[in-house]
Amino acid sequence: MTRMIFRRLSTRLLNICVASFCKAKQIEKAESIIIDGIRLGLLPDAVTYNTLIDSYGRFVSIDAAYAVLWRMREAGIDPDVVTYNSLIAGATRRCLLSVSLDLFDEMLQSGIYPDVWSYNTLMDCFFKVGKPDEAYVVFKDIILNNLSPCPTTFNTLINGLCQNGYITNALMMFRSLQRHGFVPQLATYNTLISGLCKAGKLAAARRALKELGKSGLMPNAITYTTVLKCCFRSRKLKQGLDIMLKIKNSGYTFDGFAYCTVIGALVKTGWIKEAADYMEEMTRNGIERDIVSYNTLLNLYCKQGKFEAMYELFDEIEKGGLECDEYTHTILINGLCKAGDIEGAMQHLKYMNTMGFDSNLVAFNCVVDGLCKARLINHALKMFESMEMKDSFTCSSMVHGLCRARRFHSASKILRYSIRSGMKMLKADARAVLDGLSGSGCAREARWLRSKIRGARLLH
């Protein structure tokens, strides 16, 4: 009897170790622990295999997860609903609808009855691949099979409707559920508020935020930053700052992400002094700087023209042991270009490439624009031709630079490239090239280009 209890305890300990390594994404070590356990006479159970299946489904592939199911059967352990739920979840994360459906059918054929989580995951998969009608059928199946929907069911339903653009339906569903006694969780409100914000329905999002405050639930950083970002995106800066003030007056402590959201929006809209004030407040409140905070401060210095401070801050980041991301390097390259140090910008772009950031379009665009503004057109053209990826900003910078250099024929080639690539082009760019061609005796080429532009309907 004592030996049996010891073995059970040991298997439980084995499962705890396996789960810990799996959470740390060290699946090979988890597998080694299982092998060592078997050598000691500890046989893995359903929990062991289900933990492995979930981990392989999350971090490796659905095929690797399914291979564990075969091992499980070979060991004489029958899969259960948790096994299949983990497999379906792995397929859903990768939007593999056909695989999710096959696994669901296999589960039924094996005599395993789906639970509410099986249906929740399948419903989520339908939403992810843009099939909201089919997702709603799955929701109705939950009721028809006498299963009780859980808060995650409703959160999945509301989030899926929002993600697929059915914001009004999501709001109606939310109200209907409330009338039938459903008490929304904070996650439900956050999902709805996020959907309303993405749809540009700021007034409705603010009403939902107000309702959340009255519900007794405490909004978190995700709630507030979602609404703040929507205010700033809609250029309702005063509303955004008013919300921030109300939040602070209610005793809520802002984190670095919330501060950076506000500071970044203020910098983008030209409210540099206000952005600097919030950055100082963030430092006074003792919030530790992460790479996002540093990037926000770098961008602020760039807008203020404090280029020396930018370079000092970049050194501080590297000496502090933080890893710069591509946005950090791009801000610095942009700062170098604005300071007129084009050679320095190009050198830093090369350094960036050696660090593994070899496809950063924004950084390349900064250098192309800087070269054009410095009237180094040949260098700009050479870089333009070497770029694997280009967008409308790249082409617009080149068109402006070439027109300033009165190289209208070359500018016309760039416009034609934009048309072939289906890129949007500015009316001002098209007008500058067409007027330049007409004024330099190339009226025939101008007429031909005008007809191509009209046919493409890509002006904005």
Residue 28: CB atoms within 10 Å: 9
Tens digit of each residue's pLDDT (9 = 90 or more) over 169-183:
999 988 988 888 888
Tokens for 49, please give them.
């295999």
- Contact present, 333 and 349 (Cβ < 8 Å): yes
Identity of residue 350:
K
Radius of gyration of the chain (CA): 29
pLDDT-wise least confident of 136-145, 240-249, 340-349: 240-249
**What pLDDT score does 226 carry?**
84
**What pLDDT score does 1 carry?**
42
Q: Is residue 438 part of a domain?
A: yes
Of residues 314 and 112, more confidently modeled: 112
| Separation of alpha carbons 154 and 143, rounded Å | 13
pLDDT over 60 at 60, yes or no: yes
| Separation of alpha carbons 187 and 226, rounded Å | 13
Q: Is residue 416 part of a domain?
A: yes
Residue 366: CB atoms within 10 Å: 24
pLDDT over 50 at 289, yes or no: yes
| Separation of alpha carbons 321 and 145, rounded Å | 55
CA–chain centroid gap for 263, Å, is 19
| Separation of alpha carbons 305 and 292, rounded Å | 20
Of 230, 252, 274, which residue is a domain's last?
252
The pLDDT of 399-422, averaged and rounded, is 88
- Residues with Cβ within 8 Å of 283's Cβ and at least 6 positions away in sequence, in order, are none
| Separation of alpha carbons 412 and 436, rounded Å | 10
**What pLDDT score does 5 carry?**
43
- Which of the four pLDDT bands, split at 50, 70 and 90, describes residue 458? low
pLDDT over 70 at 8, yes or no: no
| Separation of alpha carbons 100 and 123, rounded Å | 10
- Contact present, 192 and 208 (Cβ < 8 Å): yes
Of residues 92 and 281, more confidently modeled: 92
Tokens for 142, please give them.
């939950």
Tens digit of each residue's pLDDT (9 = 90 or more) over 87-141:
999 999 999 999 999 999 999 999 999 999 999 999 999 999 999 999 999 999 9
Q: Is residue 125 part of a domain?
A: no
Distances from the Cα of 133 to the Cαs of 164, 244, 395, in angstroms? 11, 38, 41
pLDDT over 80 at 162, yes or no: yes
The backbone torsions φ and ψ at residue 459, rounded to the nearest 5 degrees and listed phi first, read -75, 145
Which residue from 397, 394, 376, 375 is spatially nearest to 386, judged by alpha carbons? 394
- pTM for the full model? 0.62
| Separation of alpha carbons 89 and 80, rounded Å | 14
The pLDDT of 71-91, averaged and rounded, is 95
Of 217, 252, 287, which residue is a domain's last?
252
Name beta bridge partners: 459: 425
Q: Is residue 447 part of a domain?
A: yes
- Contact present, 142 and 119 (Cβ < 8 Å): yes
Of 252, 273, 296, which residue is a domain's last?
252
Q: Is residue 365 part of a domain?
A: no
pLDDT-wise least confident of 97-111, 319-333, 362-376: 319-333
pLDDT over 70 at 446, yes or no: yes
**What pLDDT score does 460 carry?**
57
Tokens for 338, please give them.
């604005």
Mean pLDDT (the chain, rounded)? 86
Q: Is residue 289 part of a domain?
A: no
Q: Is residue 242 part of a domain?
A: yes
Q: Residues 376-415, buried b or exposed e (16+ Cβ, 10 A)?
A: bbebbbebbeeeeebbbebbbbbbbbbbeeebbebbbbbb
* Tally of domains within the chain: 2
- Which of the four pLDDT bands, split at 50, 70 and 90, describes residue 6? very low
Q: Is residue 453 part of a domain?
A: yes
pLDDT over 80 at 250, yes or no: no
CA 312-314-317 angle, 5° bins: 115
Domain extent, residue 409, equals 401-459
- Residues with Cβ within 8 Å of 205's Cβ and at least 6 positions away in sequence, in order, are 193, 196, 197, 226, 227, 230
